Structure 1
Amino acid sequence: MRDAQFERLISFAKDELNADECKVLLNEAAQDSELEAEICACELMVAAEGALVRTHAQSGRTFEDQVMHKIHLIELGLPQRNRFGMQGWAAQLANVVSSAAEQLVGIVSMPAMVTLGLLLIVSGVVWNRTGISGRNGQMAEVLVPTQNIEAGERIAPELFRKVSLPQGSASEGYIRALDPKVDTYARTLIVADAPLHRDYLVNLPIGHRTTSILIYASALPTEWFVPGTRADITWSGMIEDKPIVALLAGNVQILSVDQSRPISHDIPLQSFSVRVMASEEVILKLKAAQDRGVLGLVLRGDQNPLVGLGDGGQLTLVGLETLTHPRLR
C-alpha cells in the first residue's frame, strides 16, 4: 500500500492545488524511501499535467507548447538522468517553470504556479534518485529535434536524432520515424530536445503545395491567424480604373504567420508574410494575383460558407476597407 499522505498529495494536486499543504506533502514524499518510486514519479507527472491542462484552458496556444515541453522534459529525464544530474535537472525544470510563469501572471493564482513548479521539480528529482527503468525493460525509440523548428518549416530527417524512452512513458503520439513519401510541415513551433508529437505536424496532401504570400490588413491582429486557421483570401486592385475587391480563394489553411513592421508612418497598415497550404491551382492563382494587386485575409470557420461581396464589388467586412488604399495600387 502506498503512503496515505502521498494519496492526499495527488488529491490536492489534481483537485485543489493547495500550495501550502502540497509543499509539506511533497517534501515528505521525496524523502520517503518506502514509496514505490515508479508510481510516485508517474503520479506526480499526471498530476502536474492535469493542472497545466486546466491552466491552458484559460491561456492560449503558446502556453500549450510550453506545457508539452515540460512534460517531455520530465520524460526525457529518465534515460538522461546520468547526463543531467540532480542539480542540473532542478535548474533546468526551474527555468522552464519560470518562463511559463511570466505568461501566467494575471491568469492563475500564485499558489497554483508554486504548486506546478514543485510538482515538476520533485518529479525530476525522484526519477533521478531512483533510476526507474522502463516497464519490463522494454524501450522505444522516438524522434527528438536537435534545434527549434519554426511553424511552417518543412520537416527533414536531418533535423532529428533518435532517443530511447521506456515503453511505458512513450506516448502513442510520439513519432518513431518519418515517412519519406509524405511532405510534412510543422503545424506550430517545435522545441528542441522534446519528443516529436504527431499533433505538431501537418501532412501535405497529394496535389497540394505551400507558398508564402504578403498580406496587408489594418484591423485584424496577427494573433488571430494561428497555424491551422482556415481563411478566405481576398484580392484588391484596379480594373479599368475602378477599385475592386474580390474573393480569390476560400478555405485555405494557414501554416505560419510572420509579422513585420508597418510599411510606413503614412500608411497605418501592417504586412504579414503568411505561409499557406492549398491546391496547385490555388497556389498559382495566388502567385499571379499578388503581382497585380493586394491580398487580404478573412477568418472563417471550417463549416462556414464562402464570404459574399457587397454592392460595387467591395467587401463589407470590418478591417478590409484599407485594402483599396490608393498608395497600395
Structure 2
Amino acid sequence: MRMIFALFLAAGIGLAVVAVYMAQGQMAQFQAERDHYAELQKKFPRLANVVVSKKELKYGQRFTPEDLTIVRVEAAGVPKGAFSTIVAKQGTPEAKHAAFIEGETRPRAMLRSIEPLEPILAQKVTNPGVDAGIMANLQPNKRAFTIQVNVASGVSGFLRPGDRVDVYWSGNINGQPVTKLIQPDLDLIAIDQSADADRTAETQIARTVTAQVSPEQVAALTLAQSTGKLTLSLVGSRDTEQVGKIEIDRNQLLGIQDKQVEKVVTKKVCTIKTRKGSQVVETEIPCTN
C-alpha cells in the first residue's frame, strides 16, 4: 500500500514538474510573440480619425451628421482641413476639428462635389446654415468684384471658379500705348452666375468673372476697368512663383530706341545799317540782349 502511494506521489510530482516546465515554455513563447508584435507595432504608421461622406454629394447639396462617418487613415496622410470627429461639444478641444457642434440642427452645403468615403474638408463645405454660392466662398475682409470679359480677355472660356488669374491693363500713358500687370494671382469665385467649380457643361464663353479681392483692389480694378481694357491670364495650378513688375510699351515691344535729338545752337548776329550816299552799309555790332 505504501509502495503504491509512493508511486502515485512520484508520478504526481513528475507531472507537476512537466506542467510547470510546459507552462514556463508557453509563457516564454507568449512573451516572445508579444515583444515581436510590439516591435512590429512600432514600425506601423500612426493612424488618425478622418470624417468622410457616406454617399456622393454634389455642389450645393446639403448634408447633416447622419450623412457622415469616420474612417482610420495614416496620420501623415490626413489632408489639410479634414475633420477628425463628426459632432463635439462647444468649447471642447475636439470642437476645433468637428464637422458639427453638439445641438447644431442646421445642415452644411458642399462647395465641391465629392465621392463616397471621400474626406470632408473645411474649405470644401459651407458653415452650418449657409448655402453654397458667392457668399460662402468669400474669405474674411474680402469683397466680390465682377470683371467684364469676352473670348479674348477671358481665356477663351476655360476659366472655372477656383482658378487663379493675373489681370493686365492696356491703355495710354502720355500718349503711348502701354500694357502692364496690375493685379497678380486673383482668386475667381464665380463665372457668370455660377460658383460651381465642378460644372461639367460644355465650355461656354463667359461674359463676366467674379474675383475675391480686398477693398483696395476693388478701387484699383474699378479705375482700371473705366480707363482701359482688362485682360486675364490663367495661372497654372502648380505655379507658385511670385510675378514681379511687368510693363511694356510700343517701343519696347518693337525694339525701337528713342533717338537723342541734338540741339543746334545758332549764334545770334546783330547789325546796324548806315547810308553812305546812295549805298546802304550793314555793320555788325555787339548784341545787347
TM-score tier (shorter): 0.3 to 0.5
**Structure whose CA Rg is larger:** 2
* Structure 1 or 2: more helix by fraction: 1
TM-score (norm 1): 0.34
TM-score (norm 2): 0.38
* Structure 1 or 2: more strand by fraction: 2
